[in-house]
Amino acid sequence: MEAPRLTRAIGAEIIGGDVTNDEDWSEIRLAFIDHAVIIIRAQYISADVHIYFASRWEQINENRFFTPHSDAPNIALVLKEADHT
């Protein structure tokens, strides 16, 4: 797994990491500590896995301002429709 910087000041992209793999957790967490913002692309996960991964960081703060996911009310849907600018 790699975590190259996105900018000189902040951010990294996780490459080769898998949020469903417990062995990747410590490296993902360390990348966040080192870079403050991380991007983990192409993670096709269920709502249950999403909740599990999120809960590893801290207690989940349920968002009251966005529509909850129909299968997992802990997940807020943030959508940009085609007609939104």
- In tens, the pLDDT along 3-14 reads 999 999 999 999
Give pLDDT, residue 62. 81
Give pLDDT, residue 82. 87
Q: Rounded to 5 degrees, what are φ and ψ at 41?
A: -85, 165
d(CA 10, CA 32): 10
Whether the per-residue pLDDT at 72 is higher than 90: the answer is no
Whether the per-residue pLDDT at 85 is higher than 90: the answer is no
d(CA 66, CA 44): 22
- In tens, the pLDDT along 35-65 reads 999 999 999 999 899 999 999 999 988 888 8
